[in-house]
Amino acid sequence: MLFRSRRVSFGDGILRRPNQAGPWNASDGFSAGTPILTYLPGLSGAEFGGEEDIDQSLSESSPTIVLDVETGELVPHFAEIDVRPATTEERSAVIRPVVRLRDNARYIVALRNLTNEADEVIESSSEFAALRDDTPSEDESVEARRPLYEDIFERLEAKGWDRSEIQIAWDFTTASDENNTQWLLHMRDEAFQIVEDDGGIEYRIDSVRTDYQTDNIAFRIEGEYRVPLYTNQPETGALLNFGEDGMPEVNAETPWAWVPFLLLIPNSATAEDPAAIVEYGHGLFGAKEEPTYGSQRHQLSFMNEYNYAYASADLWGMSEPDQVTVGALLLTGELSLMQTMFDRLHQGFLNYVLLMRMMKTSFAADETYGQYLNADESYYYGISQGGIMGAVFLALTPDVERGALGVMGQPYALLLFRATGFAVFLVIINENYTDKREHQLFVGLLQMLWDRVEPNGYTHHLTENPLPGDRKSTRLNSSHTDISRMPSSA
């Protein structure tokens, strides 16, 4: 196993539930996109500049600091309070870096001179005060931390922070890049070899319609393609299989799964040159049919005008069938059960990578319909969740060099509390965790697992430093409106 000897160790009492720590204890550090959370009783947040004053975090008077220990650089960020609670008793202080933290790096965080709603400076806990003021403590854990905190205070003082003003401080280390990416990379590389040894990616066509939206579409083709299965089942709620080497392993009993796909070939492909292949990424808990929905119907004329054929599949883990499963898991209050969503996303991204490989090879050689596809021109387009998750696909696939990502962002821990689509899940979470501070911790913990299958773990490999085995540097167009002609966009 490639993980470093360092491990996260939360213990069994995480979020007041027994036996919950297993999925996290495989990590060798915290997320590089984590929300940095703490709680100061009665905090007003009046000193925080918020998202509109990021410069505050780099100023000499900043009430917050995030320090890269190795480089000595300050990390730009903004600080805010969770405004959802009606009272200050459940109000978390949240520090959000606006750049991705470095992998496998140590950071120091501190807050100072913060006040409550009565404009009184908030007192530190007795434990922290003993460390800061070098006063005796009968708490053995405090005494054990004195050397660590002397190092923390020395580094903060070197940045102009008076230790007497500090109300709370701590350090943490981010996970390694290998920790986040090695499972998917292993699955991708091994699956490529498996299908190559098997003679290519097998597919079958289930239906062909020539009467669908005939102004723009010549063929609406639905079928299935066969992929190596790395989970214990192809259905929702699946978990990854692991071998003795700690890497995901193909299911010995059910080594293959059939994945439904949709292919839309425009009229232009039959009248002009073969169409470029665009893999389409659907929205939040969406489905492969999304380009055919009324709200997205404009894409059909776009396809015909610019000669693109759209290929799509459900993103297993965050597709329509998964929504009910995720809601049910959240309703149990057992946070560790959410591991199934992240494990199934590993298989979902493998399916996505193999869909484009199948379209460019097996399907492009189809006796009837292969003539309408240009296997030398392939792209990706996704919006909303498809825009977010498209960054993972683009970092993984060796078959696409340009993509357009619409209405995207990262990490999910930042997006969720600002997304209307997350409101229903917050209602479910609240059934078991009524304290709003636990909501923040809940999402922050999930971010550590999400990094393995969301852009926070992959975007830094898009335009430079490509992942191992990836022969290209992706050209990416970020858009919040319409996409332009992909071959000419940067």
**What tens digit of pLDDT does each residue of 378-406 get?**
999 999 999 999 999 999 999 998 999 99
Does an H or E element contain 112, and which? strand 106-112
What would the two tokens of residue 380 be?
């990706």
- The rounded distance, in Å, linking the Cα atoms of 270 and 152 is 67
What would the two tokens of residue 149 be?
């905190």
Range scoring the smallest mean pLDDT among 66-70, 110-114, 307-311, 438-442: 438-442
- The rounded distance, in Å, linking the Cα atoms of 259 and 406 is 25
Within 10 angstroms of residue 442's Cβ, the number of other Cβ atoms is: 19
483 confidence band (pLDDT: 50, 70, 90): very low
pLDDT tens digits along 257-280 = 999 999 999 999 999 899 999 999
474 confidence band (pLDDT: 50, 70, 90): low
Instruction: Tell me: pLDDT of 480 over 70.
Output: no
Confidence at residue 475, expressed as pLDDT on a 0 to 100 scale: 60
Whole-prediction pTM: 0.94
Report the share of the chain in percent with pLDDT over 90.
86
Confidence at residue 300, expressed as pLDDT on a 0 to 100 scale: 96
Mean pLDDT over all residues of the chain?
93
- Alpha-helical (H) ranges within 109-176 are 126-133, 140-157
Confidence at residue 2, expressed as pLDDT on a 0 to 100 scale: 41
pLDDT tens digits along 12-65 = 777 777 778 889 988 999 999 989 999 999 999 999 999 999 999 999 999 999
343 contact partners, CB below 8 Å, separation of at least 6: 231, 238, 239, 240, 317
- The rounded distance, in Å, linking the Cα atoms of 348 and 353 is 9
pLDDT tens digits along 103-146 = 999 999 999 999 999 999 999 999 999 999 999 999 999 999 99
**What does the pLDDT average to over 171-181?**
97
Instruction: Tell me: pLDDT of 98 over 60.
Output: yes
Instruction: Specify the length of the chain in residues.
Output: 490
pLDDT tens digits along 298-356 = 999 999 999 999 999 999 999 999 999 999 999 999 989 999 999 999 999 999 999 99
Instruction: Tell me: pLDDT of 456 over 50.
Output: yes
Instruction: Tell me: pLDDT of 3 over 70.
Output: no
What would the two tokens of residue 110 be?
């501190």
Residue with more model confidence, 479 or 93: 93
Confidence at residue 485, expressed as pLDDT on a 0 to 100 scale: 35
What would the two tokens of residue 307 be?
């000669």
Q: CA neighbours within 13 Å on the CB side: how many for 356?
A: 28
- The rounded distance, in Å, linking the Cα atoms of 161 and 434 is 36
Instruction: Tell me: pLDDT of 473 over 60.
Output: no
pLDDT tens digits along 200-229 = 999 999 999 999 999 999 999 999 999 999
Confidence at residue 272, expressed as pLDDT on a 0 to 100 scale: 84
What would the two tokens of residue 262 be?
């949709």
472 confidence band (pLDDT: 50, 70, 90): low
Residue with more model confidence, 415 or 1: 415
Instruction: Tell me: pLDDT of 284 over 90.
Output: yes
- The rounded distance, in Å, linking the Cα atoms of 257 and 415 is 32
Confidence at residue 81, expressed as pLDDT on a 0 to 100 scale: 95
Instruction: Supply the DSSP string of 33-68, one letter for each residue.
Output: T--EEE--TTB--TT--GGG-GGGGGSTT-SEEEEE
